[in-house]
Amino acid sequence: MPSVYIKTYGCQMNERDSEAVSAQLVAKGYTLAASESAADVILLNTCSVRDAAEQKAIGKMRTLAAEMRRHRPEVVLGFMGCMAQSRGRELIDKLPDVDLVIGTQKFHRAADHLDEIFAGKRDKVVDVAEEQGSEATIREHVLNGIGASKPVTAFVSIMQGCNQRCTFCIVPDTRGAERSRTIADVVAECRELVARGVREITLLGQIVTSYGRREIPVRDGKSGFVQLLEAVHEIEGLERIRFTSPHPKGYGDDLVEAYARLPKLVESAHLPVQSGSDAMLKAMHRGYTREKYLGIIGKLRGVRPQMGVTTDIIVGFPGETEADFEDTLSLAREVEFDNAYIFKYSPRRETPAAEMPGQLPRAVKEERNARLLAVINEIGARRYENYVGRQAEILVEGPSKRNPARLMGRTRSNKIVVIDGSERHRGQLMDVKVTRAGSFTLYGDPAIINVE
Ligand code: SAM
């Protein structure tokens, strides 16, 4: 059977979609190639959030197409995911060597389409239609991937789509309207993962706090999302629950209170703020103010003082003045984020912000990006340094990426800790003493805890 290589751009949802497609292909008899050069099929799973991400994937496909045309013309080339969804056939018109374009509601059809291409029944396939029930098709996991031992952590997609309509964002168009899986379905998937050795699960969605808003009635004041957290929390053998990304609007008292009740829910929140200026938040259509956001952080830290908080911030949104930007700098200092992903605003087609007056030059975006990054790095370094000398519980995930001779795990607040240890520690919850802080990484010593 042919072998497939999938290269993924963008967010964790894309990583998860690629994993599910890989597992679905393996179930149909395809094999997973370790590299592009060994593959009979190369699929690029794409991101549309910024123009740079789209250009990167298009550039990569151009290089692949030229290479394959010269040396291995039989190789099947395809785009999947967000850019495939938003551009559809246009991608084949632009890059005629592309054989396959699969949208975000059609990942589960990848194997069928490839079968038809290999059987010679179809030449080119573009499948970007909407499909009812597609939110429940991202289910399979590759738990014994190429050379990988059994993973300790896993991502579970709980919903698809987004109804938020932030004025900068293309995602509602690429991912469609919000659709949630049932609680029973998500719990069944989590149970299977735990039975196969997974100890930590991250629930995934564009806006997880909107989970079940249409499908699951509020019960005892608890949203569908909180009901889901409770149900997943019941799973015996599961040690930790994370989720990403929530929306600040979704932090009702039921969710804040869930942190007090559910010990498996770890002290970590990735809470995209986008800007510290009320004028910008309004223009972005975010639905909260700076004060409201700070209030949520205060409540979360009130319940769990060790809460690690990370965020997404856009710099250079249309009309952002120096004073607006300084509001973002001051918000970053006030919250003391553990880390932040900073994005230079990128106009996306058919989004309201792309048509707004006051589009800023690239130099301004770059300068603000650099200034904000310096502040985020300074605060992050201080927060990481605070861990030194303290004890922390980590879940050991496997070899450290930078130095595979060492192990890495994460604290409940989502900080990576590198330790010395052996394979038998994988999957263990371990108390370590943090001995040193590097750049957004901690170094720990389990032995020191043991002798004390
Ligand atoms: N759903 C999450 C939310 O908005 O709360 C985040 C999902 S989005 C895929 C990841 C991040 O990309 C956003 O939080 C935002 O900071 C950034 N982003 C989205 N559209 C952008 C644009 N047009 N230009 C720059 N950054 C953008």
Residue ID of nearest Cα to ligand 1 atom 13: 312
pTM of the model: 0.95
Q: Check residue 112 and give left, alpha or beta (phi > 0: left; psi -120 to 50: alpha).
A: alpha
Q: Is the CB of 174 under 6 A from ligand 1?
A: no
User: Does residue 54 contact residue 46 with C-beta atoms inside 8 Å?
Assistant: yes
Q: Is the CB of 4 under 6 A from ligand 1?
A: no
Average pLDDT over every residue of 338-352: 97
Q: What is the dihedral of CA 220, 215, 46, 272, to 10 degrees?
A: -30
**pLDDT for res 427:** 93
How far apart are the C-alpha atoms of 405 and 289, rounded to whole Å? 47
How far apart are the C-alpha atoms of 294 and 291, rounded to whole Å? 5
How far apart are the C-alpha atoms of 136 and 160, rounded to whole Å? 9
207 Cα nearest atom in ligand 1: 1
Distance of CA 282 to the CA centre of its chain: 25
| Cis bond upstream, residue 245 (ω within 30) | yes
Band (145; pLDDT cuts 50, 70, 90): low
Percent of the chain whose pLDDT exceeds 70: 98
Dihedral sign (CA 254, 340, 163, 357):
positive
Q: Is the CB of 274 under 6 A from ligand 1?
A: yes
Q: Is the CB of 208 under 6 A from ligand 1?
A: no
Q: Check residue 29 and give left, alpha or beta (phi > 0: left; psi -120 to 50: alpha).
A: left
Amino acid letter for position 69: R
10 Cα nearest atom in ligand 1: 9
Amino acid letter for position 120: G
Distance of CA 325 to the CA centre of its chain: 26
Structure token pair of residue 155: 């991502």
Average pLDDT over every residue of 232-239: 98
Question: Kind of pairing, strands 429-438 and 159-160?
Answer: unpaired
How far apart are the C-alpha atoms of 336 and 245, rounded to whole Å? 19
166 Cα: distance to centroid of ligand 1 (angstroms): 9
Q: For the beta carbon of residue 293, count every other beta carbon within 10 angstroms.
A: 25
Q: What value does the mean pLDDT of the chain take?
A: 95
Band (147; pLDDT cuts 50, 70, 90): very low
Amino acid letter for position 134: S
Which residues on adjacent β-strands are paired with residue 419? 407
Instruction: Using DSSP, state whether 112 is helix, strand or coil.
Output: helix
17 Cα: distance to centroid of ligand 1 (angstroms): 18
- Helix and strand numbers (H, E) in the chain are 14, 19
**Residue among 327, 14, 360 at smallest CA distance from 171:** 14
Question: Kind of pairing, strands 429-438 and 391-399?
Answer: antiparallel
Average pLDDT over every residue of 13-21: 96
Distance of CA 297 to the CA centre of its chain: 21
Angle (CA) 134-140-146 rounded to 5° is: 135
444 Cα: distance to centroid of ligand 1 (angstroms): 33
Q: Is the CB of 317 under 6 A from ligand 1?
A: no
On the 0-12 / 13-18 / 19+ scale of CB atoms within 10 A, 3 is: middle
Q: How many CA atoms lie within 13 A of 180 on its CB side?
A: 20
**pLDDT for res 324:** 98
Dihedral sign (CA 239, 391, 375, 377):
negative
Q: For the beta carbon of residue 129, count every other beta carbon within 10 angstroms.
A: 12
Phi, psi of 398 (to 5 degrees): 150, -165
Q: Is the CB of 325 under 6 A from ligand 1?
A: no
Structure token pair of residue 219: 């019960």
Band (149; pLDDT cuts 50, 70, 90): low
Q: How many CA atoms lie within 13 A of 415 on its CB side?
A: 35
Residue among 9, 15, 17, 49 to mutate when testing ligand 1 (max atoms within 8 A of CB): 49
pLDDT 10s digits, 284-326: 999 999 999 999 999 999 999 999 999 999 999 999 999 999 9
Question: Kind of pairing, strands 407-411 and 416-419?
Answer: antiparallel
Q: Is the CB of 251 under 6 A from ligand 1?
A: no
Average pLDDT over every residue of 19-33: 95
Q: Is the CB of 210 under 6 A from ligand 1?
A: no
